[in-house]
Amino acid sequence: MTTSREHILAAINHQQTGKVPVDLGSTPSSGISAIAYSNLLKHLGRTDLPVLVYDVVQQLAQPDLSILDHFGIDVLDIGRTFNDQASDWIPTTLANGAQAFYPKSFQPTKLSDGSFVTYDDDGQRILSRMPIGATFFDQTYFPYVDGYPDSFENLDTEMGRIMWARDVHSPWDHAGEDDFWQRLREKTLKLRQNTDKALLVVCGCNLFEWGTFLRRMDNFLMDLMCDPENVEKLLDQLLIRHLATLKKVCHAVGDIVDIIRFGDDLGMSSGPFMDVDTYRYLFKPRHKILCNYVKTHSKMHTYIHSCGSISLLMPDMIEAGIEIFNPVQTNAYLMQPDFLKKEFGQQCTFWGGGIETVGTLNVGNPAQIRKQVLERLGIFSKRGGFVFNTVHNILPDVPPENIVAMFEAVKEFNSKSDN
């Protein structure tokens, strides 16, 4: 009998096994809103399970293993092996009034207007904010907003103030602990021994995005055209740090984890944030260095999360060593499923694009959801190279019956012997 891990690896290797593998929650871009998850648990009669908000910035839940098994999920994030005790969590209330839990390290301040903020260590500077009624935090502090520093000697400190790093999800919320790397290996070994699911490690290594986190989006986009010298200096500093992290990741778990996930949102709905030549000059060589390091020092497959329209960049990203693309934003320019499969289907794996999160999953009825899921599976799954997942995370407004209908359609497709 083929295991979940074998199904995932077969898909990456463009082999068909009779089952399209499925993801839910293995990354912070293939997961589920804590509100949607809370509603799903009620729908399934599983209110005995806690709602653990493992990604506090995006307010994403960590699905319980029993829920993943219920829906036939084939891959796990090794970060779930941390914060595995009840004492690691503190109670909170979600925007819709549902009860949930935050990691105990995350304790935002509620202001008089009902919004939540996080402060720097000195309590003077607001770093992020979640307005009243909102369902995720927004970055409010951009350290280089007024210009690049003369020296990057304080880069680590400033990166540590950015919400994506300061309030990072597991396992990286423990990365500063003395025994972290030893514990990461021990916990991952134990997980691998106790599951037949594929294992994935989320490892950031963002380049373009860190520029936007530090300079703010508007400034950094102008920098790409008007100040490439400082952009290169920053990217080289980031690369030094990313390679140092990759060295530790590959040493700790590179022989026991199947997939490593990078992140770098390079696209808008109308096209890439930059022209192809700019990507080739500034980012492709550095993506290639990161991918080469992984391939040389581990057995992990390379996966990148990039929202938006990136098909114009994909040939170069594939040449740089990217094997897997997520979330496959199929409603963006030149990102239609049949086009992507025809142009790139045998050169990479699509991890996502199985259903529109906005416009179908959230407002469609079960029949419409079934129709789109079966259509997408029919296109993407031919000759392998596909892992079923939604286009990005399942959002708070998605009805639980629609989530169930989605997975039932996947099960229906996989039950056919000719897949």
Tokens found for residue 89: 């969590």
Task: Dump pLDDT digits (tens) for 391-415.
Answer: 999 999 999 999 999 999 999 999 9
417 pLDDT above the threshold of 70: no
104-119 mean pLDDT: 97
300 pLDDT above the threshold of 60: yes
Could you state, in order of their start, the residue ranges of all structural domains in the chain? 30-347
Q: Which residues of 216-247 are buried (b: 16+ CB within 10 A; e: fewer)?
A: beebbbebbeebeebbeebbeebbeebeeebe
The confidence score (pLDDT) of residue 16 equals: 86
Task: Dump pLDDT digits (tens) for 236-290.
Answer: 999 999 999 999 999 999 999 999 999 999 999 999 999 999 999 999 999 999 9
385-389 mean pLDDT: 98
Per DSSP, which regions of 131-192 are E strands?
138-139
Residue 155's SS3 state is: helix
Do 139 and 164 meet the contact criterion of CB atoms below 8 Å apart?
A: yes
The confidence score (pLDDT) of residue 416 equals: 86
**Is the N-terminal amide bond of 143 cis, ω within 30° of 0?**
no
Specify the pairing of strand 75-77 against strand 198-202: parallel
37-53 mean pLDDT: 98
86 pLDDT above the threshold of 80: yes
> Is pTM beyond 0.85 here?
yes
Instruction: Starting at the earlier edge strand, list the strands of the sheet with 60-61.
Output: 32-33, 60-61, 53-55
How many distinct helices (H) and strands (E) make up the chain? 15, 18
